[in-house]
């Protein structure tokens, strides 16, 4: 088998005096598409969110592009959630399984989902499920409304479970501490004592009702 002979520079000059074919054989170097830049454009970057058209940039400008690029820029929350859901299906249309499935509404495959894993994380109801979960978490963290007994316990500096003897002992201690005679007629001490008396009566009534 005869090997293909590589033409010498002299032969190239003889058959290609203007260098046209030699120029075609040279790899074409891209120039950065950033306005005014002449550096080699060796890095590809998308031109828009459709990812169907690209531009070639130098290293400096592709780094600048990456810092500023936000795929979801200009989309509202519903559009972002819809795009994430479509990404779960690899951006393909969905329909129910079975006969005439393609003609059905695209509300996700009709699969056996006893624990609602598909519904809450992948299916069309995933966005609503996330909102319900977020609301549940907020409700758990939100301070609960205090009952009159809870407020009375705070006044007395006590907590459940509570016994009558513990309540009486604490009441006597607070009365001695906040009595106006001990505090030289201080108005704040008098108001505090009124709160203590009211809290004590409320808690004692509750304990008596339970026994």
Query: What homologous superfamily is domain 148-210 in, according to CATH?
Result: DnaJ domain (1.10.287.110)
Of 85, 93, 99, 39, residue with least CA distance to 64: 39
Extents of the domains making up the chain: 28-69, 77-141, 148-210
Q: Would the pLDDT of 102 be above 50? A: no
Are the C-beta atoms of 160 and 172 separated by less than 8 Å? Answer: no
pLDDT tier at 59 (50, 70, 90 boundaries)? very high
On the CB side of 25, how many CA atoms lie within 13 Å of its CA?
A: 6
Write down the pLDDT at residue 162: 85
pLDDT tens digits, one per residue of 143-171: 565 788 989 999 999 888 889 899 988 88
Question: Of 22-31, 175-184, 193-202, which range is least confident?
Answer: 22-31
Are the C-beta atoms of 204 and 211 separated by less than 8 Å? Answer: no
Question: Of 9-18, 24-33, 34-43, which range is least confident?
Answer: 9-18
Q: Would the pLDDT of 46 be above 90? A: no
Are the C-beta atoms of 73 and 52 separated by less than 8 Å? Answer: no
The answer to pTM > 0.85 is: no
Q: What is the mean pLDDT of residues 4-28?
A: 57
State the chain's mean pLDDT as an integer.
71
Helix axes 148-156, 187-210, angle to 10 degrees: 120
Best-predicted range by mean pLDDT among 11-20, 99-108, 169-178, 183-192? 169-178
pLDDT tens digits, one per residue of 77-96: 666 556 555 654 445 555 45
């Amino acid at each position: 088998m005869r090997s293909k002979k590589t033409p010498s520079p002299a032969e190239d000059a003889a058959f290609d005096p203007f260098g046209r074919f030699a120029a075609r054989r040279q790899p074409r170097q891209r120039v950065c598409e950033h306005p005014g830049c002449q550096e080699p454009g060796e890095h590809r970057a998308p031109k828009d969110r459709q990812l169907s058209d690209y531009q070639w940039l130098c290293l400096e400008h592709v780094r600048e592009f990456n810092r500023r690029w936000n795929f979801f820029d200009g989309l509202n929350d519903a559009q972002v959630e819809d795009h994430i859901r479509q990404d779960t299906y690899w951006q393909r249309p969905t329909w129910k399984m079975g006969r005439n499935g393609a003609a059905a509404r695209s509300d996700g495959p009709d699969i056996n989902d006893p624990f609602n894993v598909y519904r809450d994380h992948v299916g069309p109801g995933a966005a609503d499920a996330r909102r319900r979960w977020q609301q549940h978490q907020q409700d758990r963290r939100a301070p609960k409304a205090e009952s009159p007994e809870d407020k009375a316990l705070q006044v007395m500096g006590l907590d459940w479970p509570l016994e009558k003897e513990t309540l009486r002992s604490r009441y006597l201690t607070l009365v001695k501490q906040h009595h106006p005679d001990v505090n030289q007629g201080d108005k704040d001490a008098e108001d505090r004592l009124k709160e203590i008396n009211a809290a004590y009566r409320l808690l004692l009534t509750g304990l008596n009702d339970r026994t």
